[in-house]
Amino acid sequence: MSSCAADPPPPRQQTEVAAAPDDGSAGGSQIVVAIDTIGSGLNPHLIADQGPVTNAVAAMTLPSPFRPVATPGGTEWMPDTSLLSSAEVTSTQPFTVTYRLNQNAQWSDGLPVSADDFSYLWRQMISQPDVIDPAGYQQITDVASRSGGKEAVVTFGGNYPAWRQLFSGLLPSHVLRGTPGGFQTGMDTGLPPSAGPFSINTIDRSRDEVRLIRNDRYWTTPSVVDKVYLRRIGDTGQLAESVRADDTGAVSITAGPALATQLGAIPGVVTGRQPDSRVLGVTVNTRTPEMSDVSIRHAILGLVDTRLLTAASAGDAVVTPFGNTLFAPTDRGYTPVNRPALSPAQALELLRSAGYAPAAASGSPRGAGAATASPENSAVASAPASPGDSPQSPAASSPTESVASSTSAVPDSDSASLPEGVARIEHDGTPLQIQVGVVAGDQRAASAAASLVDQLRSLGIESSVQSVAGSALYGTALSTSGVDLIVGWSSTAIDPATRFASRTACQPNPSGVPPTTPAPTTAAPTTAAPTTPAAEGAAASTVPTATTTSPTAPPPGAQDSFAGNVSGLCDPVLSRIAAQAIATPDPIPSLRAAESDFAARYVYLPVYQDSLFTLAGSTVVGVPRTGPVQTGIFGTAATWNVKADK
């Protein structure tokens, strides 16, 4: 492969542009945007870093060949002429795309945006853990540099109609490449260079604030305002007062009807509701001995009451519950899916088929931290009486309000104790133990995970929640069987066919493209496809029959070849379907046909899609109420302004 720069750009002296700390009092026009929290990181390509602020900062500071534009027919990807002179398919044998870059495009430290940035992102996306849906990048066989680095020639192994979505949010390779762990953490601290209309001036995690200022090295139309501050504004009362006083010009937060009504009643404001690109779900790690058995996966995911997970995680925020495993509610082609949940008896029957059963005698708590089962936290107590009242996979296609009133922080659960009187599920005296992983610091995912653990314990399954740093959770924790399930976020910013291919990828990393750091994941066991996909309308009184072959699990620590495939499922049937779908201009029919087959592997359980309450205050101009799901309201931030008399 010749992905290194064959025609490098001429040497250029790098200049350091030291931004003076900005305390907000230096003058100039500014807009303060109220947010929830910065999150764990600011790399838009990492699963653990997903969040509204990460998307906002990427939209304002990172270059992209194409930008999403919301249309009545869905999202269209339009060329960004500030970065591109042109981009076109220049060959179909092999499929090749040539990107010609604006000669003036440069990072805020003075170095040019070049083909090296394309090559760097490609290499990271096919080799690093914790990356978001990398199947599109896995189609690439080479990224070559031409014309002094201002032309990137990208060669694919096959047809890839969604190529315009690739390389969105290019990263400053010249900075990250030389930094240990640069791809994983290099965007989170310091002042990473920008090639957008704004650059980062300050990242203050203690205050949940990111300050952005106009990028003076931006080569095309500069931003209208001098500064945009993304800032958490205290409690709801403080936020309302800040909007009334015109100290906060815009809002983009998770919020329920009460707060939305309170803020919407302030004179002069305009409000909206923006679907977020994040989807909360439960993903199974098929690399662990227990989760390699489809019967156990079916029993556990089939028992989970997603209504309880939504209540625990979302609080009173408006979210959209759904059950379709391949399409999110904002995807073109989405259709509601409602699968009946399992009864406790059905779940136990599936566990028995895998060799597990309740202990002969279990009448006392196991450990000092035993909890008491109750209808509020027990999946058994809330099991539906009929298939028509399923709590597992709501078929809702519009935002709904969660039944809980607040979201509380949940510490790690070190005890796998069971409620008093609940028999332990075991095999030959060895208990079935489930470790549920969440990204450290993700309060909403942790709350959902705690609810899931409550439900499993109520059936007799010893379970606990483990908070792990993002790169470790989606790397070594998966590969060494450190977690059986992950409760976390996935992205709807990528098309459904690419997401499906990423979740079923079996191909190894392209030969000759070694990881920049040792890949901390392991080869996934192959789980045979059920011979009969689960029928969506199956009667609740019938115990589903799961058919599988015994997978051969690799030893812990073996190199994993599935970058981005969180579950590790390698199913040849699904992989073939995904390969066909990703190469098809309109994959919706084939994806709809494959949805029930993928669901029947029981590796993923969707819970809800998040949404954001948006507000534009009376002093700002040009702040939209909605935008594309990928960027939200921030895709047009360069054109925002403040009223002249303010």
| Confidence (pLDDT) at 508 | 57
Cis peptide, bond prior to residue 94, ω within 30 of zero: yes
Q: Decide which of 379 and 173 is more confident.
A: 173
H or E element: which one contains 56?
helix 52-61
- Kindly tell me if the per-residue pLDDT of 542 is higher than 70: no
pTM metric for this prediction: 0.83
Mean predicted confidence (pLDDT) in 324-340: 96
Mean predicted confidence (pLDDT) in 292-298: 98
- Kindly tell me if the per-residue pLDDT of 394 is higher than 50: no
- Kindly tell me if the per-residue pLDDT of 75 is higher than 60: yes
Q: What is the CATH number of domain 278-608?
A: 3.10.105.10
| Confidence (pLDDT) at 298 | 98
Q: For the chain, give me the number of helices (H) and strands (E)?
A: 16, 23
Mean predicted confidence (pLDDT) in 555-569: 62
Average pLDDT, the chain: 84
Return the CATH fold of 65-186: Dipeptide-binding Protein; domain 1 (3.90.76)
The tens digit of pLDDT for each residue in 9-66 reads: 443 333 333 444 455 544 579 999 999 999 889 999 999 999 999 999 999 999 999 9
**How far are the Cα atoms of 177, 203, 297, 418 from residue 171, in angstroms, in the given order?**
10, 17, 38, 47
Nearest-CA neighbor of 563 among 197, 129, 185?
129
**How far are the Cα atoms of 80, 95, 119 from residue 90, in angstroms, in the given order?**
19, 8, 18
Alpha carbon distance 307, 394 (integer Å): 8
Mean predicted confidence (pLDDT) in 69-80: 92
Q: Amino acid identity, residue 46?
A: L
Query: So where are the chain's domains?
Result: 28-62+196-269+617-646, 65-186, 278-608
What percent of the chain lies above the pLDDT cut of 70? Answer: 78
| Confidence (pLDDT) at 414 | 44
The tens digit of pLDDT for each residue in 585-637 reads: 999 999 999 999 999 999 999 999 999 999 999 999 999 999 999 999 999 99
The tens digit of pLDDT for each residue in 435-474 reads: 999 999 999 999 999 999 999 999 999 999 999 999 899 9
| Confidence (pLDDT) at 551 | 34
Mean predicted confidence (pLDDT) in 364-370: 34
State the CATH architecture for 28-62+196-269+617-646: 3-Layer(aba) Sandwich (3.40)
Mean predicted confidence (pLDDT) in 94-116: 98
Mean predicted confidence (pLDDT) in 312-329: 98
What percent of the chain lies above the pLDDT cut of 90? Answer: 73
Alpha carbon distance 239, 34 (integer Å): 8
| Confidence (pLDDT) at 640 | 98
Nearest-CA neighbor of 392 among 314, 302, 325, 458?
302
pLDDT class for 507, splitting at 50, 70, 90? low
Q: Amino acid identity, residue 490?
A: S
Tally Cβ neighbours within 10 Å of residue 161: 16
| Confidence (pLDDT) at 390 | 38
**How far are the Cα atoms of 381, 418, 601 from residue 372, in angstroms, in the given order?**
12, 8, 32
Give the up-direction half-sphere exposure of residue 557: CA atoms within 13 A in the CB hemisphere: 0
Q: Decide which of 510 and 127 is more confident.
A: 127
- Kindly tell me if the per-residue pLDDT of 556 is higher than 70: no
Task: Name the least confident of 117-121, 276-280, 374-378, 449-453.
Answer: 374-378
Q: Do 28-62+196-269+617-646 and 65-186 fold alike per CATH?
A: no
